[in-house]
């Protein structure tokens, strides 16, 4: 609990531990409290912290969960209970393992909880590129927000990413980068409103990995959202970022050995 309290208020954590969320708080969260949810949320946050530690050690790592960017310090919303990336950043900073961090959030929804938690913190650069007319309707200011029009397709999306991402990394001067690799940007997504193809998502993921790792910045990947027609399809889309991460590291090692 002490690690979670680096980000979240004690009152909120006690409510989660004791099943004391009000009906209004559960509606805001988007789902009812359960012991399984509380356990899963802590495990997901722990997984992101472990992945961040691994990234600092070997260069790149990921968590097959996480990216819960709608969680605030004192409440959850949008299916997000605990702010896993913020917890990892806070813990690593407390241990002096890092001083500065960049959060690259390419989920289709703006990372409002992330923005709120790090508002005014110049050592954490928060970048959110999202659907402007999608949830949350009331946005919270990130270090850089880029809102996209409905039905944005591969070419425009990737041009926008290529324009902003190098500037973000230059400004962040980060010791570690976190990538929220939501796949709800896909054209098949039930809630996304954007129109990226599967190849567009793969190219997006490859570009983030390349841009971060070519600068020798450790990279921690977390999932974010995805609401394809089936869970299998969602999982297939999520797999691209991990395949691209593995492919990048294979190429990097081959170049080093040559």
SS3 166: helix
- Count, residues in the chain: 258
Choosing from 70, 109, 238, 240, the catalytic residue is 70
Q: Are 76 and 151 in contact (CB under 8 A)?
A: no
Query: CA torsion sign, 208 to 159 to 170 to 106?
Result: negative
Q: Are 156 and 185 in contact (CB under 8 A)?
A: no
C-alpha angle 202-203-205 in degrees, rounded to nearest 5:
65
Q: Are 122 and 100 in contact (CB under 8 A)?
A: no
Query: What are the CA-CA distances from residue 83 to residues 60, 66, 75, 157, 210 (Å)?
Result: 20, 8, 10, 26, 26
**Phi, psi angle pair for 101, to nearest 5°:** -145, 155
Identify the CA nearest to 67 among candidates 104, 34, 120, 24.
104
Q: Is residue 70 annotated as a catalytic residue, yes or no?
A: yes
Query: What are the CA-CA distances from residue 254 to residues 8, 78, 250 (Å)?
Result: 43, 42, 6
**Phi, psi angle pair for 34, to nearest 5°:** -150, 160
Q: Which residues are catalytic?
A: 70
């Amino acid at each position: 609990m002490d690690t979670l309290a680096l980000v979240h208020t004690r009152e909120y954590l006690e409510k989660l531990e004791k099943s004391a969320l009000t009906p209004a708080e559960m509606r805001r969260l988007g789902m009812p409290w359960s012991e399984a949810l509380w356990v899963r949320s802590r495990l997901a946050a722990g997984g992101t912290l472990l992945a961040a530690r691994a990234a600092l050690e070997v260069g790149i790592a990921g968590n097959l969960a996480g990216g819960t960017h709608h969680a605030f310090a004192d409440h959850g919303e949008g299916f997000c209970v605990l702010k896993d990336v913020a917890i990892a950043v806070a813990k690593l900073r407390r241990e002096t393992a890092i001083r500065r961090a960049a959060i690259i959030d390419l989920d289709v929804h703006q990372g409002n909880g992330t923005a709120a938690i790090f508002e005014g913190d110049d050592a954490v650069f928060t970048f959110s590129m999202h659907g402007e007319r999608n949830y949350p309707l009331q946005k919270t200011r990130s270090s850089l927000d880029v809102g996209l029009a409905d039905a944005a397709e591969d070419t425009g999306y990737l041009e926008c990413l290529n324009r902003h991402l190098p500037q973000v990394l230059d400004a962040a001067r980060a010791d570690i980068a976190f990538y929220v690799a939501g796949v709800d940007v896909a054209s098949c997504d039930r809630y996304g409103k954007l129109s990226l193809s599967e190849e567009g998502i793969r190219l997006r993921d490859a570009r983030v990995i390349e841009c971060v790792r070519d600068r020798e910045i450790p990279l921690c990947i977390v999932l974010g959202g995805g609401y394809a027609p089936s869970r299998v399809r969602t999982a297939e889309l999520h797999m691209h970022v991990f395949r691209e991460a593995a492919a990048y590291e294979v190429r990097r090692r081959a170049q080093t050995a040559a």
